[in-house]
Amino acid sequence: MQKILTLLNRLQTGVAGVLLVMMVVLTTANILARQVGLPIRGTFELMGFLGAAVFGLSLSFSHWKKEHLYVSILFDRFPRKVQQLARAINTLACIGLFSLVSWQLVKTGVNLKRVEEVSETLGIAYYPVVLVVAFGVAVLVFLFVYELFTGFGEAS
């Protein structure tokens, strides 16, 4: 499972990195184009789509690297067994919550495809972005499951 999660995280991070570079290029191009009176049509929509995809694809990598916020002032004062129990309860809660989030995103994506919902300016379908975010959240769920059984998330 670790090899699969590592591969998925690398793939997601690579795609998110490319999308982030596209966001920077689009923003820069639009700023320059506005200076000569030719703004790029649909920039706001594209930035929204790209930003959502970057967010969804970056969730599990951020958690994998432990580069998220963690407040430990009180928590670290508890005995090790209490910390382990609290981590297990937190991980189970995260599995439940993010499973629901991923499932609802898939339902929303399928519904958006069914009704053929598209963006206003460029007419881009919403459902692929929603499904990409759902995939990113699902990978995060698998990472939580991995942590639950391996203790990966424990402090050293």
Q: What is the Cα–Cα distance from 114 to 8, expressed in whole angstroms? A: 28
C-beta contacts of 124-133 below 8 A and 24+ residues apart: 124/42, 124/45, 124/46, 124/49, 129/49, 129/52, 129/53, 130/52, 130/105, 131/105, 131/106, 132/52, 132/53, 132/56, 132/57, 133/52, 133/53, 133/55, 133/56, 133/105
Up-side HSE of residue 107: CA atoms within 13 Å toward CB? 6
pLDDT given at position 155: 45
Structure confidence at residue 150 (pLDDT): 87
Could you give the CA distance from residue 75 to residue 46 in angstroms, rounded to a whole number? Answer: 41
- Give 75-133 pLDDT, tens digit per residue: 778 888 888 888 889 899 999 999 999 999 999 999 999 999 999 999 999 999 999 99
- The torsion angles phi and psi of 65, rounded to 5 degrees, stand at -85, 0
Q: What is the pLDDT of residue 156?
A: 35
Residue 63 has pLDDT above 90, yes or no: no
pLDDT of 145: 94
- Specify the residue for token string 């995939």: 135
Using DSSP, state whether 151 is helix, strand or coil. Answer: coil
Is residue 68 over pLDDT 70? no
Phi, psi of 25 (to 5 degrees): -65, -45
Q: Tens digit of pLDDT for each residue in 14-59?
A: 999 999 999 999 999 999 999 999 999 999 999 999 999 999 999 9
The arithmetic mean of pLDDT across residues 131-136, rounded, is 97
Q: In the structure, what pLDDT confidence band is assigned to residue 69 with cuts at 50, 70 and 90?
A: low
This prediction has a pTM of 0.86
